Amino acid sequence: MKKKIIVIIIALIAIGLIGYFGVGRNLYEKYSYGTEKADLDEFFGVTGDELQVIHGNERIAERALLKDGNCYYRLSTVDEVIGQGFYFDGEYNGGTLMYTSAEGTVESVLDSHSYGLDGTGENLGHATCFMKNGTVYVAADYVSLFFKCSTQLFDRHVLLLTEWEEHDSMEVTSDTQIRTLGGIKSPILREVEKGERVELIEAMEEWSKVMTSDAYIGYIENKRMKNMGPAVYEQAPDPAVPVTSPITMDSRVVLGFHSIAGTVGNDTIYSMIEEGAGMNVIAPTWFSLNDNNGGIRNFGTGSYISTAHNAGIDVWAVVDDFNYRNDSGDTSVSTYEVLSQTTSRRTLERNLINACTDLGVDGLNIDFERLDQECGPHFAQFIKELSVLTHNAGIVLSIDNYVPFDYNEHFRMDVQGSFADYVLIMGYDEHYHGSGNIGSVASFDYVCYGMDKTMENVPAERIINAVPFYTTVWKKDGGTVTDSYLTLINQAEYISKYNIQYTWDEETCQNYAQWQSGSAMYYVWFEDSESISAKLNAMNSRNIGGVGVWRIGYGTKEVWNLISMYKEMGK
């Protein structure tokens, strides 16, 4: 009997011990810290010579490459993350990367170690750029010559800094680990020693998201850190990139566009000067693209220049990308073809400068209206390169633009604000000819929006807002909408002839009329002294650089007197 009791007791003890150790093991497994190491290639999502880009304190989708011990960013990464300024032409000299500043265009050919204003002069010590699988890569240290940024290279990733904002600094108080996620079982990225400093990204209850000095982003337990207060990373130096010094007039600009369809049209300058009270710039439509090699049609004459100068008026010759096409019917002339090829683009630039200097004009006005999204980068490069030439020649560079919206942002107001002397907003065609969309040509809010939006990228004193010396008469007959132009000079006669009754529309700041004739309804928002006065007051309150008019020959004495007063108010 005693033996049975002993056996039972021993069995119970054994069962108890097994249960105890089993529960203990489970408790240990549950509450002990995991020792699994993270697969860093998988964590960073890289293979081979790829590098994960850490921008600031965020892992982004971009990848860089490691080549000969140097970091290279995709050109698209530079554009999207660091800054826009590089231009690449895959055909020019077998592939050339360019950067244009006020001094000129720094060039470097693919795989070359050298760069400079003529493609040579400086040596980076390794390739400035190369192409792999159709993608252009640019050396990180070459990028930093032109943009304020810094790159720290690590084993599988790089830390890219473009801003240096204050962040919370934490000190690790005991040896621990940084893990892929919050939790003691999460895989370990690396060991962290007592005394290390980390950047706090996101504070949470028990674990917090941090970044180590070598750009590992993960989680550390709060109980193993203490807050050390604000800190900032050491800033990168400002790049030594020359900036443009704009050429501006001493007074407000009053610019009148002079529409000229041939050299004989230059003789009308006398009547244009007589009409334009207060006008100090006349812009004849002289030049137009006439082939895809950079050629231009030229209606300019020296006698026109002399006549304008004798009247105290500067001449800014206009170059457009549509008049030759319209006049000749040659639809093969393509703005994209000219600007997207460096050879033809630079031929155009030289032709324009030569024409301007030969004639002795004071300024060049760019009126390219056939620009699509694809042409945007090439237009921006054209403006940069042309500005270097115009400034070296002492020629004012101005550029015409539609009122800026998202759909025409490829006109690159930021580039224009940095390189052009004046940025002109065509503050009209809100509802345009042939659109079938009835409405004002230039309502007050539309004009104000155009100026305010432009001022986000261009200093107010270098903005010119152009006003229309015309309006549109809309006719709706059934479901058909047609329209016709009505100039200011003919407006009074039109109103009298049709006995039109109009009222002031406070919303558009224009006199508005509608009437029926037969089965048709007519609508018109008039441009007159009252509407132009409202626009000039808005321009004066913003203290912009001046006013333009489309066009001379359409105006009235009353409106020109208002413009002359506006000019004097800027003194």
- List, for residues 207-230, the tens digit of each pLDDT value: 999 999 999 999 999 999 999 999
- In this prediction, residue 424 carries a pLDDT of 98
Beta bridge mates, 209: 202, 219
* Residue 383 shares a structural domain with residue 301: yes
* Residue 229 shares a structural domain with residue 262: no
Angle value at C-alpha 149, between 143 and 155, nearest 5 degrees: 85
248 in any annotated domain: no
7 in any annotated domain: no
420 in any annotated domain: yes
- In this prediction, residue 345 carries a pLDDT of 98
- Domain count within the chain: 2
- In this prediction, residue 101 carries a pLDDT of 97
Mean pLDDT of 484-508: 97
401 in any annotated domain: yes
Q: Which domain holds residue 171?
A: 33-238
Q: Which of 27-36, 268-277, 290-299 has the lowest mean pLDDT?
A: 27-36
Question: What does the radius of gyration of the chain's CA atoms come to, in whole angstroms?
Answer: 34
Percent of the chain with pLDDT over 70: 95
**Which letter does DSSP use for residue 349 in this model?**
H
* Residue 371 shares a structural domain with residue 310: yes
pLDDT tens, position by position, 81-127: 999 999 999 999 999 999 999 999 999 999 999 999 988 899 999 99
- In this prediction, residue 7 carries a pLDDT of 63
pLDDT tens, position by position, 181-194: 999 999 999 999 99
Q: What's the mean pLDDT when you consider all of the chain?
A: 95
Does the reported pTM lie above 0.85?
yes
* Residue 203 shares a structural domain with residue 156: yes
* Residue 454 shares a structural domain with residue 535: yes
* Residue 151 shares a structural domain with residue 203: yes
**Three-state SS at 21:** helix
Read off the pLDDT band of 28 (50, 70, 90).
very low
Q: What CATH number is attached to the domain comprising 156?
A: 2.30.30.40
The closest of 160, 168, 157, 155 to 143, measured between CA atoms, is 160
Read off the pLDDT band of 10 (50, 70, 90).
confident
40 φ/ψ sector (left φ>0, alpha ψ -120 to 50, else beta): alpha
Mean pLDDT of 160-172: 96
**Three-state SS at 60:** strand
Question: Which residues does 370 contact at the CB level (< 8 Å), separation at least 6?
Answer: 321, 322, 335
Q: Which of 25-39, 103-117, 319-333 has the lowest mean pLDDT?
A: 25-39
Cα distances from 1 to residues 5, 7, 8, 10, 120, in angstroms, run 6, 10, 11, 14, 105
* Residue 211 shares a structural domain with residue 257: no
Q: What span, in angstroms and rounded, lies between the C-alpha atoms of 54 and 87?
A: 24
* Residue 232 shares a structural domain with residue 282: no
Question: Which residues does 499 contact at the CB level (< 8 Å), separation at least 6?
Answer: none
Boundary of a domain, candidates 209, 238, 267:
238
Beta bridge mates, 298: 287
